[in-house]
Amino acid sequence: MQMQIQKKGDEILKRIESQSKVSLFSKDFWYGSIMDWSMKNEHFKTQMFRFVDVLPSLNSGSDVAKHLKEYFSESGEELPSVFNVGLGLGSLAPALMAGAIRKNVTQMAKMFIVGENPEEALPVLKKARKNKICFTVDILGEATLSEKEALEYQSKYLELIEWLGKDAKNWDEIEQIDRDHEGAIPKVNVSVKLTALYSQINDKAWDVTKTHLKDRLRPILVSAMNKNIFINLDMEQYAVKHLTLEVFKELMMEPELKNYPHFGVVIQAYLRDSLADIKDLVRFSQERGTHFSIRLVKGAYWDHETMEAEQQRWPIPVYTNKKESDANYEACAEYLLQNFKYIRAALASHNVRTIAAAIVAAEKLGVPNNGFEIQMLFGMADPIKKSLVDMGYRVREYSPVGDLIPGMAYLVRRLLENTSNESWLRGKFADGKSSEQLLADPKMNLQITSPLPSQENRFYNEAFKDFAFAENRKALQEALDLSKRSLGQTIPLHIGGKNITSSRTLSRENPSNKEQILGQISAANKEEAEQAFQAAQKAFLSWKIKPANERADLIDRLADLMTRDRYQLMATQILEVGKPWAEADGDVAEAIDFCRYYARHMRELAKDQKMGKVPGELSLYNYHPRGVTLAIAPWNFPLAILTGMAAAAVVTGNTVIMKPAEQSSLVAYGLMKLIQEAGFPPGVFNLLSGYGEEVGEYLVQYPHVATIAFTGSKAVGLHILREASVHRQGQQQVKRCIIEMGGKNAVIVDNDADLDEAVDGVLYSAFGFSGQKCSACSRVIVLADVYEKFEARLLEATKSIFQGMAEDPRAYLGPVVDEEAYLRILKTIEEAKKNHKMLYQGPEVHGGYFVPPTIFTLVDPNSNLAQQEIFGPVLAMIKARDLTDAIHIANNTEYALTGGLYSRSPANIAKVKAEFEVGNMYINRGITGAMVDRHPFGGFKMSGIGSKTGGPDYLKQFMEPRNITENTIRRGFAPTE
């Protein structure tokens, strides 16, 4: 078999050799020389691809010149001569230079894109047919952010089908490409991307998402079927793989579509589960009774998949060794060909070894040459295509049509592919590898890799739940059902190891559903606060001398229990504070992270540090706990913040009184139960739910509280600072206050920003959890040139999001936390309407405290709306003249918590990094969702005076550093160290 493959491969290679030597990689052309440089120099490659990506969004010649300089001249690298002109070394004026560069890049894009629109594409497609190459057309587009954009896409596909279908009636049949072993096949073949058709794809709301996708795709399939056109459903990122396959299968079984064979789907052989998917599809095809096609590809999102999995700590879905993908491709191809009765194979590859192996397998299995087809991308591997055409195979080109802006993302993917070390085309046409190397069996010396993300001995964040898996959706739904069955309980206080039901209670309702009372919360009084202090003080005496490792082990145990009860903890906060699913998942994961991170860090901090290095002296620096800590938490990260503050206090040897927010006491009690189960001694953790002004205030003033860790509003934070500073009778130590407060966070959108990302990131940062995150975006400062375009897309995107009960998995945003917040925010909006232009307010939702997402435009940066924290789904859009103006506006508040920038200008990014005054800055991503260790969190100015949570300095605030110096010389003798 290997011999036959070698022979077949050699035959193809020989045919390639006999053709013109001009290839993609030939250096005579601008593209070739760019590729040559890219392959030799990784840094240049990154800069080049980034430059190509941003180019279409640059409006003026001087902008192009600016970016070119920023990307290429600072590194001091030698540049290909094509750039000399652009860098002032030539004589062209910037505008002319920009034109030249733009022309070259456009030409480069045009090598891979058949046309900017169907009219432009048609002659190209027809010409290919003359050369006996058929096509499948794909429409390139920007990311679909709104339903308007999704519907536009759908119409584009429908029009394309209509138009090509009509024209194709006049096309001559070409036997080699228009017939298979059973007869005529459609001349027109269109590839559709699922994610283009619906803007609200959401794994949590799986069935609703599928219904929408099917509703959008169905008319396209029906129209194609009526015109005898082939439709292929493309495959994109792994995140939508399960969805794509389910949508495909369900549509294929619909009575109207069930008997049409000219539909297809894609399987990516770089996925570890690809062979299993093919087997499943073969079974499915038997059930359907009419065959369909599978395009087998290697997969084009390898970098994305590996990075995404590493970031999320999810199993890596792709093979990490290229040879494994190649070997798996051959296995998949063989399996498909074995089953060609049920599934038609479209073998897509530019690798001659892969193609030869598939052809040999087909021959061995008796599949006729026209019983399968070979697919390649337009603009790539032309000599291979021609060779295969000459050998009589049906070769189809994947032919994208569309605008240049979205085309650039496609172009960059192709450039990456062609310049990758692993690229077969590069090996053949640029690196001149021998035919043995080029045709080697990928199974030879194959190293099997593991799907596990990297496992070093360091802290890793707890992985979020992947709701693309049905078991995760089911588990959360069950936890919600269980929580709802046990509503109405009275939640006790927990003091000195005992549950105590207070004489007074406060009632907590579900903010998504006012009628639903979740429970009665014990509201501690001053006597109970006193008892809690005494219990904590007593426990402190023995807890502080417990070895740090043992304290850390217990905190780790608490993390383990939270991991075990993850879904239940999520369900409680979905009901109690109105957190949508993903937000609740994030909060619980963060609570687990705080425990693990602080436990780990404490084990390090517990080691004595030797100071100085002089003989005869032992000087040791170490940390000691301070005493009883009061942890006063907000409701918006109900588990994470309370856990973080309390675990930090306890792991460092203090004891703690936890005072949760009134609105999130059920969550706090859930935590307390796990603390008890973990086995902490009585009095180490105490829980005092109740009113802040009463029990909180009492303990803030209590003379013997050593440390106050507070997270909440500016007003309360400053009040606590004031009260804590008073020296009261009997008080022996200054209270230390770790105070985290609010923000008025801004995102700056630069003229050259990638709007697909900027709109999406701003939308989620502003409206995720109804804008009730301290890190939420409440001001978006957009540069003048791009203001209108950004505004239009943001408006449509906001119109498309769904607001509803937090337990409804569709909810992009749920309610605000309670009636007080609801009334306050609505009043703010009403006030703002008087002085500002309202761009949009979402529809009313009834039954709970739903404040609709609201956007004001052209807001005065000094107005109340732009200055005061609203803590709700209200966004102020502000127009800035230029970047300096934008930074000035951004900094012009009393807060400095989070901030962001969307830009593709290296110089502008550097300027904002240096000048934007915020504790946490995010570039080219949303500004919420800080993760322990990766993004230690906290602000300054009026946003707080603590050092960052989840970072290396946090624990030290709960301890006193001490230094102990011992003279070790006795009678002139000192022990050696």
Q: Are 900 and 780 in contact (CB under 8 A)?
A: no
**How is the chain split among helix, strand and coil, in percent rounded to 5?**
50, 15, 35
Q: How far is 759 from 740, CA to CA, in rounded Å? A: 29
Compute how many other C-beta atoms are within 10 angstroms of the C-beta atom of residue 335. Answer: 18
| Shortest distance in whole angstroms from residue 719 CB to ligand NAD | 6
Residues in the chain: 977
Give the H/E segment covering residue 125: helix 118-130
Q: How far is 523 from 532, CA to CA, in rounded Å? A: 13
The sheet carrying 854-857 orders its strands as 837-841, 854-857, 874-880, 777-783, 745-749, 898-902, 920-923
| Shortest distance in whole angstroms from residue 817 CB to ligand NAD | 7
Q: Which residue, 400 or 771, has its beta carbon nearer to ligand NAD?
A: 771
Q: How far is 666 from 658, CA to CA, in rounded Å? A: 13
Q: How far is CA 627 from CA 526, 542, 735, in A?
A: 20, 11, 10
Whose CB is nearest to ligand NAD? 692
Q: How far is 343 from 906, CA to CA, in rounded Å? A: 49
455 backbone φψ class: left, alpha, beta (φ>0; ψ -120 to 50): beta
Q: Which residue, 188 or 632, has its beta carbon nearer to ligand NAD?
A: 632
Which amino acid is present at 547? Answer: P
Instruction: Single out the catalytic residue among 774, 791, 796, 869.
Output: 774
Q: Which residue, 509 or 750, has its beta carbon nearer to ligand NAD?
A: 509
Q: How far is CA 375 from CA 265, 326, 380, 848, in A?
A: 13, 16, 11, 54
Beta bridge partners of 961: 623
Q: Which residue, 634 or 900, has its beta carbon nearer to ligand NAD?
A: 634
Q: How far is 822 from 848, CA to CA, in rounded Å? A: 9
| Shortest distance in whole angstroms from residue 648 CB to ligand NAD | 13
| Shortest distance in whole angstroms from residue 861 CB to ligand NAD | 20
Q: Which residue, 720 or 806, has its beta carbon nearer to ligand NAD?
A: 720
| Shortest distance in whole angstroms from residue 753 CB to ligand NAD | 26
Instruction: Single out the catalytic residue among 70, 142, 373, 740.
Output: 740
- Of the candidates 852, 767, 849, which has an alpha carbon nearest to the alpha carbon of residue 812? 767
The sheet carrying 685-687 orders its strands as 498-500, 493-495, 685-687, 656-659, 629-632, 707-711, 736-740
Q: Which residue, 154 or 943, has its beta carbon nearer to ligand NAD?
A: 943
- Burial of 807: CB neighbours in 10 Å, binned 0-12, 13-18, 19+: buried
Q: How far is 874 from 889, CA to CA, in rounded Å? A: 18
Q: Is 774 a catalytic residue?
A: yes
- Of the candidates 675, 712, 669, which has an alpha carbon nearest to the alpha carbon of residue 693? 712
| Shortest distance in whole angstroms from residue 938 CB to ligand NAD | 6
Enumerate binding residues for ligand NAD (CB under 6 A): 632-637, 641, 659, 661-662, 692-693, 696-697, 700, 711-713, 716, 719-720, 740-743, 774, 869, 871, 897, 938-939, 943-944
Q: Which residue, 412 or 721, has its beta carbon nearer to ligand NAD?
A: 721
Q: Which residue, 264 or 944, has its beta carbon nearer to ligand NAD?
A: 944
Q: Which residue, 251 or 661, has its beta carbon nearer to ligand NAD?
A: 661
| Shortest distance in whole angstroms from residue 69 CB to ligand NAD | 39
Work out whether strand 874-880 and strand 498-500 pair parallel, antiparallel, or are unpaired.
Answer: unpaired
Q: By three-state DSSP, how is residue 790 classified?
A: helix
- Of the candidates 546, 556, 552, 544, which has an alpha carbon nearest to the alpha carbon of residue 604? 552
Q: How far is 608 from 9, CA to CA, in rounded Å? A: 66
Cα-based angle 191, 196, 201 (whole degrees, multiple of 5): 125
DSSP one-letter code for 458 = S
| Shortest distance in whole angstroms from residue 660 CB to ligand NAD | 6
| Shortest distance in whole angstroms from residue 767 CB to ligand NAD | 16
| Shortest distance in whole angstroms from residue 902 CB to ligand NAD | 23
Q: Which residue, 492 or 692, has its beta carbon nearer to ligand NAD?
A: 692
- What is the token pair recorded at 839? 């761009």
Q: Is 740 a catalytic residue?
A: yes
| Shortest distance in whole angstroms from residue 618 CB to ligand NAD | 40
Q: Which residue, 451 or 703, has its beta carbon nearer to ligand NAD?
A: 703
Residue partners of 778: CB distance under 8 A and separation at least 6:
743, 744, 745, 746, 766, 771, 869, 870, 874, 875, 876
Q: Which residues are catalytic?
A: 740, 774
